[in-house]
Amino acid sequence: MLTLNVNGRGHTVDVEPEMPLLWVLRDHLDLPGTKYGCGIAVCGACTVHVDGVPVRSCSLPVSAAVGKRIVTIEGLAQRQLHRVQQAWIDHEVPQCGYCQPGMIMSAAALLAKKPKPTDADIDASMSNLCRCGTYARVRKAIHALAEAPAEPKS
């Protein structure tokens, strides 16, 4: 039995320690927002935050996440959409949308670390793959967030 902190709640799961976190989230905790893409940590569709750091959950053994704070796309927003989610809507970022939960999680982590990222910062942090090619809109949304007034801390 492993105990995980996912989206601020404790969960106990009876799984093999080497099972990828992705499958625990999707199949055992019923959190399907984190997507399976490539299975080899390249595409980023499975990106979640582990202690605030974007991580490819398809290659992270669940045992490595024990004792850490895991946030999925379902837990990113609190009472309303997270500002990155709202920017994605405002700037019409998604096309098919499949990769977008991972993109949003990567962008949220980037902006938490660097509130005013440069193009080089975006290029270095946003390594998620998008088959629809929405990269220009992703960059536009991130820059719009960087230029927006800071949100008050609650």
Is 74:25 a contact under the CB 8 Å cutoff?
Answer: no
Residue identified by tokens 């509130």 is: 115
Q: In Å, how far are 29, 47, 94 from 85, measured between CA atoms? A: 22, 15, 11
State in words which class domain 2-76 has.
alpha beta
Summarised one tens digit per residue, pLDDT across range 117-151 is 999 999 999 999 999 999 999 999 999 999 987 66
State how far the Cα of 107 lies from the Cα of 101, in Å rounded to an integer: 10
Tens-digit pLDDT profile for residues 56-68 = 999 999 999 999 9
Residues of the chain with CATH 3.10.20.30: 2-76
Q: Which two tokens stand for residue 125?
A: 């942090």
The Cα 18–Cα 9 span in angstroms is 22
Q: What is the pTM of this model?
A: 0.93
* Topology of domain 83-147, CATH: DNA polymerase; domain 1 (1.10.150)
Domain with CATH 1.10.150.120 in the chain: 83-147
> In the predicted model, is pLDDT for residue 153 greater than 60?
no
